[in-house]
Amino acid sequence: MAALRRAETALEAVDLIKTYSTGRNKPPVRALRGLSFHAARGTVFGLLGPNGAGKSTTVKILSTLSAADRGSARVAGIDVAAQPDRVRRTIGVVAQRPGTDPMATAAENLLLAGRLHGMSRRDARARAGELVDRFGLTDAAHRLVRTYSGGMARKLDVALGLMHRPQVLFLDEPTTGLDPQARSEMWDEIARLAADERMTVLLTTHYLDEADRLADRIAIVDHGTVVAAGTPEELKSGLRGDAVLVELAGAEPRARAVLERVPVLRDITMDGCTVRGRTDDGARALPAVLAALDEAGIAVASATLARPSLDDVYLRHAGRGFEAAGDEAPKGLEATRNPEAAK
């Protein structure tokens, strides 16, 4: 039974612990504090969390670039600490920072990657041609990468990770720094890849909508551990009910007390002119809310009803809003180690 599960498990991390020393007389940074998760073969697994939560450290350990202090990890059933060489032959890595050689053309970058993975020159040429077509880089394939726009270079990064048809692909924040259109194109491409090439994808992101859109399962990471895991739907339905959001026409402290008397509404929070609540029956709650506020003479600018978002899930499990968590993170461990990513 355990063996069967192992065969179906493409990625497995058990109690990973990683501490970085930051210099003499400074406290060490505890990047991972017992992080565990597993992802089934052929699925897209999302690690979601703010900067500094430990996502990139996890990817580095799973892709053999870094070694965990304690804990174990397996990729395609292979122990990363015991057989890093075998792991490297089965994975493709698209790191958070660009990893393309600016002094080479796209075709040269791709050919080198393929040949290092043991592809013949002929196979590598064919595959490179296929990938530049797929990512819309055909016209630029023989230009030096330093002349590329950010979006083009990012596409080439992903193409490089795919070159040798890896069993497991790591995508570390693939769309950070892309403009909205490039991001949406990249999403389409990742979704198509996961379906066509039937590989396992580990996606890290700090965009809630990205995880929601692409991942089959998600683990929410905060302060180096997984605080919640499941499918996006499971995580959202764990919250029970819909979110009610009321924008008042002006600040009105009485609103909270008024709404607490509406029977179908619970978990009411208020922030300036914004009142949030939760309900199991949105269709009845909304008219009741409007009626109660109207009766109390409180003017309403807008009232909306929404299915719970991953933001709500994050708020519940990490104890704070997603944006706030990103700001509070210790200026991102990842950010300080990669000055370019911080820009």
Q: For residue 42, with 0-12 CB atoms within 10 Å meaning exposed, 13-18 middle and 19 or more buried, which class applies? A: middle
Please report, to the nearest 10 degrees, the dihedral formed by the alpha carbons of residues 222, 188, 153, 173 taken in order: 0
Candidate ranges 25-33, 90-98, 223-231, 269-277; the one touching another protein (CB under 8 A): 90-98
94 with 169: CB under 8 angstroms?
A: yes
Contact with another protein (CB under 8 A): which of 42, 99, 177, 230?
99
Residue 257 is a binding residue for another protein (CB under 8 A): no
Q: Which is nearer to another protein, 79 or 267 (CB)?
A: 79
Please report, to the nearest 10 degrees, the dihedral formed by the alpha carbons of residues 115, 119, 120, 126 taken in order: -100
Candidate ranges 85-93, 132-140, 263-271, 298-306; the one touching another protein (CB under 8 A): 85-93
Q: CA distances (Å), 156 to each of 78, 95, 137, 309, in order?
A: 28, 12, 8, 32
Q: Which is nearer to another protein, 63 or 205 (CB)?
A: 63
Other C-beta atoms closer than 10 Å to the C-beta of 7 total 11
Residue 116 is a binding residue for another protein (CB under 8 A): yes
Question: Token pair for residue 188?
Answer: 């389409």
Site for another protein in 7-26 (CB under 8 A): 20
- Min CB(82)–another protein separation in Å: 15
- Min CB(220)–another protein separation in Å: 25
Q: Which is nearer to another protein, 23 or 250 (CB)?
A: 23
Question: Token pair for residue 280?
Answer: 């199991």
State how far the Cα of 88 lies from the Cα of 83, in Å rounded to an integer: 9
- Min CB(76)–another protein separation in Å: 9
Closest residue by Cα to residue 219 from 20, 43, 19: 43
322 with 311: CB under 8 angstroms?
A: yes
Residue 28 is a binding residue for another protein (CB under 8 A): no
Exposure string over 251-280, b if 16+ CB within 10 A, otherwise e:
ebeebeebbeebebbeebebeeeebbbbbe
- Min CB(83)–another protein separation in Å: 12
Site for another protein in 158-177 (CB under 8 A): 160, 164-167
Residue 342 is a binding residue for another protein (CB under 8 A): no
Residue 150 is a binding residue for another protein (CB under 8 A): no
Residue 64 is a binding residue for another protein (CB under 8 A): yes
* Contact flags string 118-137 toward another protein, x per CB under 8 A: xx------------------
Candidate ranges 46-54, 92-100, 234-242, 308-316; the one touching another protein (CB under 8 A): 92-100
User: Computed from CA positions of residues 290, 296, 301, 306, in that sequence, does the dihedral angle turn out positive or negative?
Assistant: negative
Q: Which is nearer to another protein, 144 or 290 (CB)?
A: 144
260 with 319: CB under 8 angstroms?
A: no
List residues near another protein by CB under 8 A: 20, 60, 63-67, 85-86, 88-91, 93, 95, 97-104, 108, 112-113, 115-119, 144, 160, 164-167
